[in-house]
Structure 1
Amino acid sequence: MRIGLYPGTFDPITLGHIDIIRRASALVDRLVIGVAINRDKGPLFDLEERVAMIEAECAKLSDLTGIEIVAHPFDNLLIDCAKDVGAGLIVRGLRAVADFEYEFQMVGMNRALDDSIETVFLMADANHQAIASKLVKEIARLGGDVRKFVTPEVNAALEEKMR
């Protein structure tokens, strides 16, 4: 069984994330969405809220693709998380050259830690290249409309959080 791991903070999950999840599910038999606990980033949504949003969105994708997609919180090294879930493949989404520079360093470190786990980069769809959770939160915080960047359910959660 080919198991892939798509890690991130997903604070909140965006249409860009969902696009990468949908496309990554074509590469594997099971896709694990690694939800980084990452207390240092001070997420807007707590871990349980982020996992619930991911599970709700991924249930729809699982129904469409027939691929098992599950959320898995983690707070250890990414390479150790991959081992924990049995992933032989780490999926990373890229929006721009700046993303690649950071990801390139991460791949080098991960390969030094365990060279049996491959990393695959998926370029963001042109319609989603500008979407970043950080920017979505900032727009929502300032009263802007983020419906172009998130699902209606995530939009409702953001509106509730901003009240």
Structure 2
Amino acid sequence: MTVPRIAVYTGSFDPITLGHLHIIDRASRLFDSLVIGIGINAAKQSLFSPDQRRDLVCAVTDDLENVSVQFFDGLAVDFVRSLGSRTMVRGIRPLTDIAGEFTMMMANRQLDEEIETVFLMADERFAHVSSSLLKQIARVSDDDSQLAKFVPREIIAPLRERMRDCS
């Protein structure tokens, strides 16, 4: 009997971007099951509530049958282990993420040497996309086609609504 290959992609997904979605799509083809772990950090000010983030992630990954979404708090390695997985997926953007992700991978290895980190390089179309960048664009642009270059279309209306509520 073959053991299913379960991978876990953790993040805040506040909100989910096209870059995140591209990593999710690629990782879903590499593993039997991909769990999207939405981190809950009460000390961090989030744009969307955990439930809203889950709903948005589910909305844009609904067509990927082997992808599920769960919340976690605490250490990502503990969450990965609790799911019976030994693989963390991390998306990296050239130059901006490599040092931080490498440091995190080394710390995770110290916490649990059996958990491996698989890095997927962001496609050049998404290498510059970040949640903070798209929040800036959403504040000053009322052109949905501009936001659609950074987030899935399903995210635009909720993003605009949250930006109005937070102003």
Bin of the TM-score, shorter chain as denominator length: over 0.9
- 1:142 is displaced (CA, Å) by 2.6
C-alpha separation in 1, matches of 2:103 and 2:97: 10
Letter in 2 for 1:27: L
- With over 3 angstroms needed to count, the CA separation of the structure-2 counterparts of 1:48 and 1:160, relative to structure 1, is same
- With over 3 angstroms needed to count, the CA separation of the structure-2 counterparts of 1:112 and 1:3, relative to structure 1, is same
Q: Where does the alignment leave 5 or more consecutive residues of structure 2 unmatched?
A: none
- 1:159 is displaced (CA, Å) by 1.4
* Superposed CA offset, 1:39-96 (max 9, x none): 333110010000001111111233xxxxx11111111101001011111110000012
C-alpha separation in 2, matches of 1:72 and 1:45: 15
Corresponding residue for residue 90 of structure 2: 92
Corresponding residue for residue 154 of structure 2: 153
Residue 6 of structure 1: SS of its match in structure 2?
strand
* Superposed CA offset, 1:105-133 (max 9, x none): 11111111111111000000111111101
1:23 paired with 2:23, answer no
C-alpha separation in 1, matches of 2:45 and 2:140: 18
Q: Which residues of 2 match residues 94-113 of structure 1 at below 5 A?
A: 94-113=92-111
Letter in 1 for 2:162: K
Letter in 2 for 1:38: N
Structure number with bigger Rg:
2
Identical-residue share of aligned pairs (%): 46
Which consecutive segments of 4 or more residues in structure 1 shift more than 4 A?
Answer: none
- 1:97 is displaced (CA, Å) by 2.1
Q: Where does the alignment leave 5 or more consecutive residues of structure 1 unmatched?
A: 63-67
Letter in 2 for 1:162: M
1:80 paired with 2:74, answer no
C-alpha separation in 2, matches of 1:98 and 1:153: 27
C-alpha separation in 1, matches of 2:131 and 2:96: 16
C-alpha separation in 1, matches of 2:131 and 2:44: 12
RMSD: 1.2
Q: How many residues align?
A: 158
TM-score for the superposition, normalised by structure 2: 0.90
- 1:146 is displaced (CA, Å) by 1.2
